[in-house]
Amino acid sequence: MNLLLASQSPRRRELLALLGLPFETTVTDVDEEPRAGESPAALVTRLSQAKARAAAAHANAAIVACDTVVALDGEILGKPRDEDEATAMLRRLRGRPHVVYSGIALLETPTGREATMVSETQLAMRAYSDAEIAAYVASGDPLDKAGAYAIQHRDFSPVERVEGCYASVMGLPLCHLVRALRRLGLTPPTDVPRACQEFTGHACSLAEEILAP
């Protein structure tokens, strides 16, 4: 069974490689606009499923698709449209807690079997300055990120506290993916929690709980 990642995100490719399974990537075109009244968890579930199904033309593949959003006081923050919106998002998030939701859909095309999961991570941002925001936005990094930031960005380093899955905030909750793969009878050959923690540099206390039978 071939593993196919329905994303061209460099972050997701790096994370998926930690599973020790060969994979290919493809691009999907899915409208990511939230529906009226749609919750963050429902949105990432729907979009991850839509991305997986959009890639289903590839035969004999286990398709991995993911969608990630930031929620501030229940309001969904997706990818900023431009630098002004990125600046506004970062100012709103500054010094405040918020939640990151990542939905995963795993679709086995020969059988149509599908497994979906949602990861929810609580975060708190540090009180970065307007000058730091301006420098980060000028780098162009925020423009393809939900909430206009990358948790792993070393120069900006916007997050003060993480309660939950660090890899999920990067865009691909690996332990949740391992659970989904197991449902389809696939088991990665590597110690995924260990590989993830070594890669991210973030100690995780949730892996055992997430991966419990």
Q: What is the CATH number of the domain that holds 35?
A: 3.90.950.10
- The pLDDT value given to residue 189: 93
Cα–Cα distance, 56 to 116 (Å, whole number): 15
Report the catalytic residues. 67
- The pLDDT value given to residue 1: 67
Residue 122, beta-bridge partner list: 99, 163
Q: Position of tokens 């990542």?
A: 102
Cα–Cα distance, 40 to 75 (Å, whole number): 8
- The pLDDT value given to residue 57: 79
Domain that holds residue 95: 2-211
Q: Which ranges of the chain have pLDDT less than 50?
A: none
Number of independent structural domains in the chain: 1
Within 8 A by CB and 6+ apart from 53, the residues are 107
